[in-house]
Amino acid sequence: MALRHEITLLPEIKTIEWEGQQVDTVVSQFTAYGDGRVLEVARDFFAQADDGSVWYFGEDVENYVDGVLDNTDGTWLAGKDGPPGMIAPADPQVGDVYRPENIPGFVFEEVTVRSITETVDGPQGPISGAMLVEELLMDGVVEDKIFAPGYGEFMAQVVSEDELVTVSIGVPLDAVGGPVPAEVDQLATAGADLFVAAGAADWAAVTALLDSLNTAWASYRETGVPPLTADGMDVALEALAAAAGGEDAPATQQAANDLAYVGNDLRLRHEEPAAVDVDRMDIVARQIMVDAAADDEAFVLGDVRHLDALWARTFQNVDGSAASSIEGQLADLRVAAESGDYPAAIAAAEALRQALDGS
């Protein structure tokens, strides 16, 4: 399974009562995907103490199976379920042991610092001064993690489960500024034209677009692209070529969406994340049209949750009237998806795309 994690600081503060005090915490959204489908959406709550250490005040967790909320395992809140836990010492040293989650039988993580002098391969080159830790989970699983300056959690590996996740791109650290290059704009936006052309079985147009995308990618890649993001674009273009070569419309539309998602990762280097997320919502709306046409209930429901997660990151940056229109279309889309009315879901997805275009 291809794993993807997105971690975003949300534009909100959550106040939590602990030992008679009101503690303001920042809210970080964690979204996990498997093969492009939502597996988990969590909201994590953090606060920094006066001594510089960072404390974990809980999380709201939603775990999904086949697009449907399966459970909320892992949810907890400091002051209600137990104490907050230290998640980052102010001055970590080898041998330090701390517990970000410490409610045995409910949630538990114990971290041991193994090294504070690691050097890792980052998106823009070597990063020194990284910290390697070993994390013992409540079920006995051991996870190795690396925290890198400027990135925070940089790598997580569970050897026993052959699972590895590492940073592909992180902003603002990997931002290069300046206007979005024409090649990146093409790689990020051509998916919409490919989607239409494939749906109309206009394979000449698809081929022409694919040729221009390959040219754009060859040019932009020479500027120095983060390796994992570059690998993702290579895979996306290969999948698109295979689907288009077989004149397979649904597969081509799927590949066009996958390519657009990676293209928007490249946009993050040049543009504010909120603007990129609005365009990601358009990609997911197109994905709903593919999945609804295939009568795929699980994927349609998962797509809707994906949209909700993106909107939570974006809504405060959208003007009031446009935001109201988008929220109305999202509501219609939820109703259609949950009732299994796929023609209505397709219509609502198209209406959402129009609302996003007006934002």
Task: Give tens-digit pLDDT for 121-140.
Answer: 999 999 999 999 999 999 99
Lowest mean pLDDT among 65-74, 327-336, 347-356: 65-74
Q: Is the pLDDT of residue 89 over 90?
A: yes
- Asked if 193 and 207 touch (Cβ cutoff 8 Å), the reply is no
The domain ranges of the chain are: 1-89, 92-167, 182-357
Q: Is the pLDDT of residue 104 over 90?
A: no
Neighbours of 230 (CB within 10 A): 18
Q: Report CA-CA distances (Å) from 38 to 32, 42, 178, 308.
A: 6, 11, 32, 11
Q: What is the pLDDT of residue 1?
A: 61
Confidence of residue 163 (pLDDT cuts 50, 70, 90): confident
Mean pLDDT across the stretch 265-276?
A: 93
Mean pLDDT across the stretch 13-20?
A: 96
In tens, the pLDDT along 302-334 reads 999 999 999 999 999 999 899 999 999 999 999
Q: What is the pLDDT of residue 68?
A: 87
Q: Is the pLDDT of residue 141 over 80?
A: yes
Q: Is the pLDDT of residue 42 over 90?
A: yes
Q: Where are the alpha helices (DSSP H) in the chain?
A: 182-199, 203-221, 227-245, 249-267, 273-293, 297-314, 320-339, 342-357
Mean pLDDT across the stretch 216-241?
A: 95
Mean pLDDT across the stretch 205-217?
A: 98
Q: What is the pLDDT of residue 286?
A: 96
The model's pTM: 0.92
Q: Report CA-CA distances (Å) from 30 to 43, 130, 161, 295, 313.
A: 6, 22, 21, 28, 11
By CB neighbour count within 10 A (0-12 exposed, 13-18 middle, 19+ buried), where does 283 fall? buried
Q: Which residue has the tokens 């190795």?
A: 144
Mean pLDDT across the stretch 235-263?
A: 96
Q: Which residue has the tokens 């999202």?
A: 330
